[in-house]
Structure 1
Amino acid sequence: MRLVVKHVTRYAYAHPIAHMVQQLRLTPQSGPGQTVVSWKIAADGYGSAAHYVDAYGNVVDLVSHRQALDAIEIAVEGIVETEERSGIFGDPPCPAPDLVFLRQTPLTRANAAIRRLGTLAAQDDPIAGFHELMHAIRDKVGYQTGVTEVHTSATEALAAGMGVCQDHAHIFIGAARSIGVPARYVSGYMLLADAQDSEAHHAWAEVKLPGLGWVGFDVSNGMCPTDRYIRLTTGLDARSAAPIRGVRGGGGPDETMRVDVSVLQDAQQVQQ
C-alpha cells in the first residue's frame, strides 16, 4: 500500500523565545514492511541542523533557534510504500542490544497488577500469549482521550481504567518485561477508516520472540500492525521515542501546540 503523510506541528508562545533546541525524530527509515519513497521536513533552522542516529537506531535532526520567535512550525510530507507482514518486523540490526529492552522505566515500571497481566503471555505459544495479553489490557483500559497525559505511567493508566495508545503500549511493555521478554515502544502513523481523523502519532509495542524477531501488538486497535502502519521511531518508552523533544529559554510559561496530521492512501493507487 502506498501511503501519503502530511503532518504539521505548530508551537505558539505568549512572548518571544530567547533560544530553543529541538530533537526531531521525524524521518522514517526503509526496512522490513516499508520503503520510503519520498520524505521532506521543513522547519525553522532545519538547513543548519546536525544529524545523527541515536542509541535505538532513530534518525535525529538537531535544530536550534537563537533568534526571537513567538511561533515555530515543523512540517513533514512524504510517501511510504508499505507491505503486509502480520506484525512481524523481524530482526534487522539495532544499535541497542536486546537486554536494553528489558529495562523498566518510570513510564513502564510494573506493579503487582501489571505483573499479573504479564503471566497471561507466559505460555508455550508466545504469539497466543501476547494476543491474550493485548486483549486483556484493552478490556481493562478503555480508549479515552483527555484522561491521561504525556507523563502518565503504566500503573496510573491501568488504575484509571482509561487512556490512549501511549498508555496501552506502556502497560503492554511493562508486562512483557516483567516476564523477561524484551519489549519496546514504537511511534508512527496509521491509516484509519474513512472519515476518522488521524492521531498526531499512533503508538504500539513490540516484543522480541524466538524465531520471529520483533513482533508488533497494537493494543488500542486489538491487532498486530498491518500495511496501514508506518514506523517512525522506537525506544524504551514514549519519552525516548518521542518524535519531537526540546528545551527552550523564554517564551513565558504558556506554550500552545497544534498538530494536524493526514494519512491517506495514494489517490493514483486507489484508482488502479
Structure 2
Amino acid sequence: MRVQVSHLSRYDYSSEVTLGMHQLFLQPQFRPYFRVLEESFTIHPSPDGQNYRQDALGTWYKQAWFSEPTNHLKITTEWLFELIPHNPFAFIIDKGFEDKAWNHPQFLFHYEGHELFVQAYKSNYSNDSFLNYLMPIKEKSTGLIDFLVNLTQEIYQNWSHEIRHEQNIWQAGFTFSQGKGSCRDLSLMQMELLRILGLACRFVSGYAFNPDLEDGHELHAWMEVFLPGAGWIGLDPSLGLLTDHRYIPLACHADPERTLPVQGTFGGVSDSALETHVDMKLI
C-alpha cells in the first residue's frame, strides 16, 4: 500500500518579526514497516542554515535558523510512503516482569535492570481515582497484554473523542473527569493511568492513515508503553487499537509538549496565527 502525505504549517504575523532558532519535528522516524519513496521538505523564508539533529530521547528533527525579518513562516512537507503490513500483536514479553506485578497486591511494575533507562518515561503523578478505575479492568483481564487491550478499549468506548484546534493538552485528571478529549488529551491520560502502575510511557505525534475514519485522524497522537522483551508497544485510546503499519511517528517523547511539530521563537511585537493542514491519500 502506498500513501501520499502533504503537510502544511503556516504562521502569519501581524507585523514583521525576526525568527529565532526553530526545531521542526516533521521528519518520519524510522520504522521497518514503512519506506519513504519520495520526500520534499521546504521552508519559507529560506533559513540561513538548516540541519538534521537528534534530541536526548532519540527523535530526529530539522533545526533551522534565520536572520532576515519576515511576516510569515511556511513549512511544507510531501511524502510518499510504502506501508508494509505489520502485526502489532506479534511479540512476547518478559514473563517475570509481568508475573511479579500481576500477582502483587499493589499491582506495581518494576524494571529490574532497566531502571535508569525508563526513569525519564515515568512520573510521580498520583490520583486515587485512577487506581480505583484500573483495578476492575485488571480483575476481568487474563494478563498484562489483555489488560492493556481492555484499558485502551475502555477509554475508546467511554471517553468521547473530539477535535480541538487549540494546541494545548489537557491535564490527565481533567480529561478523566470530563469524559472526553482530543487524541492528545486521551493519550496523555492513558500514559498517566499506566504510569500510576510504574509503567514507562511516551507520547507519540505523527500520521495515522485510515480511509474509513472521519476527518481529523491524519495528524494524530497516540502513546507507547515499554514492556521488557517486546520493547515499545503502541496504544491508540482514540480508536481503541494497538498501532500497526498505518501509524507513522514524527516525534516521541516522555513530555507531550516536546512533540509539537513546530517549536521555536520570534523577536518583535506581533500576534501570530497558525494555519495547518494534512492531506493523506492512497496512490
Whether TM-score is above 0.5 comes out as yes
SS in 1 for 2:38: strand
Q: Which residue of 1 aligns with 2:104?
A: none
TM superposition shift of 1:127: 1.2
CA deviations over 1:60-90 (Å, ceiling 9, x no partner):
2111222111111000011222233233697
Write the distance in 2 (CA, Å) between the matches of 1:53 and 1:89.
29
The residue identity in structure 1 corresponding to 2:186 is H
SS in 1 for 2:62: strand
TM superposition shift of 1:251: 4.6
The residue identity in structure 1 corresponding to 2:277 is D
Write the distance in 2 (CA, Å) between the matches of 1:82 and 1:233.
18
Of 120, 123, 141, the match for 1:103: 123
- RMSD of Structure 2 on Structure 1 (CA): 2.6
Q: Which residue of 2 aligns with 1:64?
A: 65
The structure with the larger Rg is 2
TM superposition shift of 1:21: 2.2
Comparing 225-234 with 38-47, which one deviates more in the overlay? Answer: 38-47
CA deviations over 1:210-232 (Å, ceiling 9, x no partner):
33221111111111122322122
Write the distance in 2 (CA, Å) between the matches of 1:131 and 1:55.
30
SS in 2 for 1:4: strand
Pair 1:22 & 2:17 matched: no
Q: State the TM-score, normalizing by the size of structure 2.
A: 0.81
Q: Which residue of 1 aligns with 2:99?
A: none
Q: Give 4+ residue runs of structure 1 displaced > 4 Å after superposition.
A: 88-91, 121-124
Distance 1:103 1:88, change over 3 A: farther
Distance 1:182 1:88, change over 3 A: farther
Q: Which residue of 1 aligns with 2:130?
A: 114
Q: State the TM-score, normalizing by the size of structure 1.
A: 0.84
Q: Which residue of 1 aligns with 2:35?
A: 35
Write the distance in 2 (CA, Å) between the matches of 1:81 and 1:238.
28
SS in 2 for 1:27: coil
Q: Which runs of 5+ in 2 are unaligned?
A: 93-115
TM superposition shift of 1:30: 2.8
Write the distance in 1 (CA, Å) between the matches of 2:48 and 2:66.
11
Comparing 203-212 with 190-199, which one deviates more in the overlay? Answer: 190-199
Distance 1:159 1:263, change over 3 A: same
Comparing 226-235 with 125-134, which one deviates more in the overlay? Answer: 226-235
Pair 1:54 & 2:90 matched: no
Q: Which residue of 2 aligns with 1:223?
A: 241
User: Percentage identity across aligned positions?
Assistant: 25
Of 258, 271, 275, the match for 1:258: 275
Q: How many residues align?
A: 257
CA contact (8 A) 2:169 2:185 kept: no
Q: Which runs of 5+ in 1 are unaligned?
A: 267-272
Comparing 52-61 with 134-143, which one deviates more in the overlay? Answer: 134-143
CA deviations over 1:140-188 (Å, ceiling 9, x no partner):
4211234975142111112222211001110111111110111111111
Write the distance in 2 (CA, Å) between the matches of 1:178 and 1:171.
11
Q: Which residue of 1 aligns with 2:176?
A: 158
CA contact (8 A) 1:143 1:220 kept: yes
Distance 1:89 1:187, change over 3 A: farther
Distance 1:146 1:78, change over 3 A: closer
CA contact (8 A) 1:88 1:216 kept: no
Write the distance in 1 (CA, Å) between the matches of 2:173 and 2:196.
13
TM superposition shift of 1:250: 1.6
Pair 1:126 & 2:127 matched: no
The residue identity in structure 2 corresponding to 1:197 is D
CA deviations over 1:19-59 (Å, ceiling 9, x no partner):
32211011113323222223221003456113311112111
Q: Which residue of 2 aligns with 1:76?
A: 77
Distance 1:136 1:64, change over 3 A: same
Write the distance in 2 (CA, Å) between the matches of 1:186 and 1:87.
16
